[in-house]
Amino acid sequence: MPRPTGNVRLKAARVAAGFNSQQDLADALTKAASHLGIRGLSVGVRQVRRWESDSPPWPQPDCQRVLVHLLGQSMDMLGFTPPWGSDGPKPEHIRRAMVGGGAAALGLAVVPGQAVAAPQPATAGADFEAVTRSHRRLYWSVAPTKLHPAVIAHATLGCALLPETTDSTRRTLAAALGETYLLAGRIEFFDLREPSTANDTLLLALQAAGEADDALLGSAIIAHMAFVPGWVGDRDAALERMIAARTYARRAPASAEFLAWLDAVEAECETRCGNTRTALHLISHAEDALTAGNEHASPEWMDWFSPARLAAFKGNTQMIAGHLPQARETLLGALDAMAPGEEKQRTVVYGDLAAVEATSGNPEQACKYASQALDQLAITWYATGMDRVREVRRALTPYQHERCVRDYDDRLYDWSTTVRALSR
Give the pLDDT of residue 125.
95
Task: Please give the average per-residue pLDDT across 72-101, as a whole number.
Answer: 61
Residue 293 backbone phi and psi in degrees, to 5: 65, 180
Between CA 113 and CA 126 the distance in angstroms is: 30
The DSSP code sequence of 144-197 is HHHHHHHHHHHHHHHHHHGGG--HHHHHHHHHHHHHHHHHHHHIIIIIS--HHH
Task: Please give the average per-residue pLDDT across 358-385, as a whole number.
Answer: 92
Task: Please give the average per-residue pLDDT across 132-147, as a whole number.
Answer: 94
pLDDT in tens, 355-364: 999 999 999 9
Give the pLDDT of residue 26.
93
Task: Please give the average per-residue pLDDT across 58-82, as a whole number.
Answer: 82
At residue 153 the predicted structure's pLDDT band, cuts being 50, 70 and 90, is very high
Does the structure show a pLDDT above 70 at 109? Answer: no
pLDDT in tens, 282-319: 999 999 999 999 999 999 999 999 999 999 999 999 99
Between CA 194 and CA 135 the distance in angstroms is: 20
Does the structure show a pLDDT above 80 at 198? Answer: yes
Q: Per-residue b/e over 192-210, b at no fewer than 16 CB within 10 Å?
A: bebbebbbbbbbbbbbbbb
Average pLDDT, the chain: 87
Give the pLDDT of residue 343.
87
Between CA 241 and CA 231 the distance in angstroms is: 13
Task: Please give the average per-residue pLDDT across 229-248, as a whole number.
Answer: 93
CA dist 402 to 30, 143, 351, Å? Answer: 68, 34, 19
Does the structure show a pLDDT above 80 at 111? Answer: no
Q: Which of 210, 244, 215, 242 is nearest to 226 (CA)?
A: 242
Task: Please give the average per-residue pLDDT across 169-173, as a whole number.
Answer: 94
Residue 166, number of CB atoms within 10 A of its CB: 13
Q: Using an 8 Å Cβ cutoff, are 188 and 198 in contact?
A: yes
Task: Please give the average per-residue pLDDT across 371-400, as a whole number.
Answer: 90
Between CA 268 and CA 415 the distance in angstroms is: 33
The DSSP code sequence of 67-105 is HHHHH-S-TTTTT---TT-TTSS--HHHHHHHHTTSTTT
Give the pLDDT of residue 242.
95
Q: Which of 314, 310, 322, 257 is nearest to 280 (CA)?
A: 314
At residue 55 the predicted structure's pLDDT band, cuts being 50, 70 and 90, is confident
Please report, as a single letter, which amino acid is at residue 186.
Answer: R
Does the structure show a pLDDT above 70 at 416? Answer: no
Does the structure show a pLDDT above 70 at 30? Answer: yes
Domain boundaries along the sequence of the chain: 8-81, 325-424
More confident residue, 57 or 336: 336
At residue 415 the predicted structure's pLDDT band, cuts being 50, 70 and 90, is low
Give the pLDDT of residue 94.
56
Does the structure show a pLDDT above 60 at 89? Answer: no
Please report, as a single letter, which amino acid is at residue 338.
Answer: M
